Structure 1
Amino acid sequence: MPGFFHPVEETSGIKPLESFPVEFSRGSLSAVVSTDELAGALFVHTLIREALGEGKVYHAGPKRAFSPTILKALDVEPSNLLSANVYSADELLQALGYVEDNSTVLVSQFPTLREVSEEKLLELRKRVDEASLTLILHYETLTFNELDLPGEFTRLFILPELFDALLVLRTNSYRGHHKLNVTVLKAPPEQIASLGDHSVSIDSIVKVITGR
């Protein structure tokens, strides 16, 4: 029988970039959509870099979303980064059974997994809560309706109400300078001030990722 009540503790979290508007904390479930490849690569690699400073990091998905070359350029020690290929919601749940408590898990291309349902999302939420995981479901896509963010998150993640944070990332450049634009549609109560649109300078990170 589950223990329904337990003391509430304040938990620290991680930010991919210092100026990133949202912190991903232990025991949280987040959905992040990148609408261009640069935004996706930047988010994945900086998140892994920062999360490895806190402990083990796990990556799961139908394809590997990170580059060892880019991680090396970011001075990342990859020995605590573990990766698995999963192709369905059931396989993801099985993989999470091998994840150590209090770890960070990044799932790439989550909406493409087979048999994602309300029931499977509830199981994911349960696993996050039981193991105090930082679970981030990421989706990189070029097809995204910016005019209907609530509808898009419902289409892609079925039950956005279960998530602690919902974010959209996209990049733009002007005269050689790059910005990461972040829309925070939903945030944890303690970070509610971050709701809305944000712009983060990313020139130095872009040079590392692109190699120029």
Structure 2
Amino acid sequence: MFRRLSSIPSLEVLGDVSRLVGPLREGDLLGVIATDQLAYSYALSTAVESVGRAYYMDVSSRIPPVSGEVLFGRVYSMEEVLSGLDYVEDGSLVVVGSLNVLEPSKGDILKVKRIADRKGLYMMFVVEEPSLNELDLLSEAKRLFIVPEVFEQLLVLRISYYRGKYRLSLSVLRTYPDNLRALGEHEIQIKEEALFPSRGGQPQE
């Protein structure tokens, strides 16, 4: 039941974003709100390229061709997500897209958290919400993730294009106690190839 916090492995799931806000630890949950399709695609592709093999569940595949091995499972309910986790290898990265479409309950989120902890999974949930209320991001996080308290990291990602450069605007709503300085607003310049990867193959279903 108990373990040393200092000995828990971690993973930089979101590349430059993770280097800013800190890596995701084994058994923990990361929630990402993307306000546009580019930000959604960036979150997905960056995450699955952070490891050799990743599991991706969504109502439809919204990931561009990437390097590495991506195992895709089509799901239409949280019950199917929970069932799918039985087939995931311990210690794996699991990305679940379109969480708002799956309409999870508080119990569903807590079950996912329990499984992630038991199997040592790195869990990332992604939601695309173009009509996000930017004036009350904490309430929006509660609306979309139901139980934001069980997510170790909560982020809002937006991508804009200006004068030939892509910029990622990042709101850090929640992160680990040892990196609270990352809370708030940030901007990161991102390379075009990170948004439009052309390497690798299609996810396997």
Partners of 1:207 and 1:105 in 2: how far apart?
20
Name the SS for the 2:42 alignment partner: helix
SS at match of 2:193: helix
Q: Does 1:163 align with 2:162?
A: no
Q: Is the 8 A contact 1:30 1:163 kept in 2?
A: yes
Q: CA deviation at 1:29?
A: 0.5
> Where do 5+ consecutive residues of structure 1 fail to align?
none
Q: Which residue of 1 aligns with 2:68?
A: 77
- Report the Cα distance in structure 1 between the residues aligned to 2:129 and 2:150, rounded to whole angstroms: 22
1:88/1:16 CA distance change after superposition, 3 Å: same
Give the CA deviation at 1:184: 0.4
Find the counterpart in structure 2 of residue 88 from structure 1: 77
User: Which whole-Å deviations, capped at 9, do the CAs of 1:17-62 have from their partners, x for residues lacking one?
Assistant: 235423222111011010011111112111111122xxx3100011
Deviations 1:76-125 (A, max 9, x none): 133xx2110111111110000111110000000011114x1111111011
2:14 alignment partner in structure 1: 16
| Distance across 2 between alignment mates of 1:104 and 1:5 | 22
Following TM superposition, by how much is the alpha carbon of 1:127 offset from its aligned partner in structure 2, in angstroms? Answer: 0.5
Q: 1:5 to 1:19 in 2, by over 3 A?
A: closer
Distance of aligned partners of 1:177 and 1:162 in 2 relative to their CA distance in 1, 3 Å threshold: same
- What is residue 27 of structure 1 aligned with on the other side? 27
Aligned structure 1 segments of 4 or more residues deviating by more than 6 angstroms? none
Pair 1:98 & 2:96 matched: no
Partner of 1:67: 64
Deviation for aligned residue 1:150:
1.0
Q: What pairs up with 1:103-182 in 2 under 5 angstroms?
A: 103-114=92-103, 116-182=104-170
| Contact 2:166–2:192, Cα closer than 8 Å, also in 1 | no
Matched residue count: 195
C-alpha distance in 2 between matches for 1:151 and 1:17: 27
CA offset digits 1:154-205 (Å, max 9, x no partner): 1111110111011000011221111011110000122222111111111333
Question: 2:45 corresponds to which residue?
Answer: 45
CA RMSD of aligned residues (A): 1.7
Question: Letter of the aligned partner of 2:74 in structure 1?
Answer: N
